[in-house]
Structure 1
Amino acid sequence: MVVDPVARLTDGESVRIARDVLRAGSPGMKLRLADGVEDTARALARHGGRRPVLIGNDRALLRTVRFLHDERDLERTALAVVPVGNGPSVALARSLGLPLDAVAAARTVLRGGTRPLDLLVDDEGDVVLGGLRVERPAPPAAPAPSRQGTVPPGLPLRRLCHTLARTVLPQTAARGGRRPPEASARPEPAAHRLRVEADGALLAGPDRPLAELSVRADQGGGLAEVVARPAGDAAPLRARARRVTVTASGDGFRYRPDADGLAGPAVTRTWTLRPGAWHLVLPPDG
């Protein structure tokens, strides 16, 4: 049993409850209070034939799966997890079917069943458990604010009157429900110009800008679910595939895998779905 240090800091009471339930149900269980990422990795490297139990949030779960994947130990290891953290920090665990209550999660570790789950692996060897979302490009910079209405020192009286009129009239129009043209101008939301291929078939091209793109592992289906939403009111483009390739020109694109930080920029990236590539202990009815 490895306790992530963030879990102890954010919710020590849930950690204590889970530890007590696990010790009562499995007296021979060994406890490791990890001091950091490297300490967690050392504990996992020495799990031998024993089932590793992780107490922590989504990021701790991601690091654990990545470590086992890098060590080529993922497919033969059944991982048990007690999620500890606030709502957003354990959203991935919830989506995978893990209970968020400390007692229920600890009992799942003791009495649950092992279920094979699908995994997305990119062309650099990184893994995605649930899904990824391509981030929207930064919008164009807003124009510099107008200096209209400022009165330089020493301005002649006639010019001063004209300046005040240009300042007051637009404000009066705004109070009457009308906005001056320069006030209504806003940068248009940026869109993606990407080439998206699903199993070699073109789903979206750079000639059709996308407002959103997501790729998710459809657990149990053996295929990834791809959703590309064109800019505007067009219907989403959907596909199910084993292999998804996204290509962008210029500076590339950024994407957010699972609950992790922003990745990229990448000019091209391919994700391949590997069915049943890892195993998670879930409730018997999960």
Structure 2
Amino acid sequence: MAAFDQLLVVVDPVARRADGESVRIAKDVLGAGATVKVCLPDGPEEFAKALVRRGSRRPVVIGDDRALLRAVALLHRERELAESVLSLVPVGASLSLSRSLGVPLGAVAAARAALEGVERRLDLLVDDSDGVVLGDLRIPPVAHPSPTPAPDPAHHWLRTCQSLVRTLAARPARPSAPAAGPQRLRVEADGVTLVDLDRPVEGVSVVPDAAGRARIEIRPSAVGADAGPLRALAHTVTVSGPDFRYRADAVVGGPVRTRTWTVRAGAWGLTLPG
């Protein structure tokens, strides 16, 4: 049996809870096309141990965007990312990154891509604390709303009664959190200042492109002719200023006062449909 037919299938616990049927289908398809070892970790620590001890087996992660990020971050910390090729079967609620990378969202299609697809080398961003960004970076962080669960008819009457009680009680509404306003940040691209602290910005986004550079977009807080976004391409991006938070893919980081992100061209491999 060739080395590429030896798979380590790591099933994220969130995927097992979210959609056990899709997990079962993916395991069946993978098992029909290769020799697989299935690992069912109970948490991040066991997840990491399974990847580190994979030997010559090619890892296939069944899980959502966070599971993919966890796998890439671990292999980066172990300095094994350049020699590794990951496959992903997306299962879970947070799949926007998987979709943007071109991974099929169906369990059967994704499992077949893991078996028959081709390796694509992709860029990523690495920050000065050794964190990685696969998709996009946003300042301030943009909150992704949680998916609304499907209604349960068996408890419809209970929710109706609870709603009536709340209406009769007429409790005052809680004040909503204030919306994020403009921030004063210095943004530098390859050492060149694009915007300084004297010019507030509504937001900054940084995305690795396919040419070994990052696409930077800055939305100044201004009106009229100055309201258009500032755009640039660079190998390194440094953001500094008062304490700020950022969203790197699905994870919110900070607060920090300065952070530098550097593009690593072709730093990681992902199996995608040919």
TM-score for the superposition, normalised by structure 2: 0.81
Runs of 4+ that moved beyond 2 A:
none
| Cα distance in 2 for residues equivalent to 1:283 and 1:75 | 20
- AA aligned to 1:13 is E
Q: Quick check: 1:136–1:191 contact (8 Å CA) kept in 2?
A: no
User: Structure 1 271/109 Cα, relative in aligned 2: closer, same or farther at 3 Å?
Assistant: same
Q: How many residues align?
A: 228
1:7 equivalent among 15, 36, 42: 15
| Cα distance in 2 for residues equivalent to 1:71 and 1:188 | 39
| Cα distance in 2 for residues equivalent to 1:136 and 1:254 | 6
Match of 2:25 in 1: 17
Extract unaligned runs of 5+ from structure 2.
1-8, 143-177
Residue 114 in 1 paired to residue 119 in 2? yes
Q: Which structure dedicates a bigger proportion of its chain to strand?
A: 2
Extract unaligned runs of 5+ from structure 1.
138-186
% identity of equivalent residues: 58
- AA aligned to 1:128 is V
1:200 equivalent among 187, 191, 211: 191
User: Structure 1 189/67 Cα, relative in aligned 2: closer, same or farther at 3 Å?
Assistant: closer
* Deviation sequence 1:32-60 (CA, Å, 0-9, x none): 11111111111101111221010000111
Could you tell me how far 1:188 is from its partner in structure 2?
A: 8.6
Q: Quick check: 2:141–2:247 contact (8 Å CA) kept in 1?
A: no
TM-score for the superposition, normalised by structure 1: 0.77
Could you tell me how far 1:232 is from its partner in structure 2?
A: 3.0
Residue 100 in 1 paired to residue 97 in 2? no
Could you tell me how far 1:281 is from its partner in structure 2?
A: 0.5
Match of 2:212 in 1: 222
Match of 1:78 in 2: 85
Match of 1:38 in 2: 45
* Deviation sequence 1:69-124 (CA, Å, 0-9, x none): 111111100001100013xx011011111010110000000000001000100011
Whose Rg is larger? 1
User: Structure 1 47/201 Cα, relative in aligned 2: closer, same or farther at 3 Å?
Assistant: same
| Cα distance in 2 for residues equivalent to 1:243 and 1:188 | 30
Q: RMSD across aligned C-alpha pairs, in angstroms?
A: 1.5
| Cα distance in 2 for residues equivalent to 1:189 and 1:265 | 14
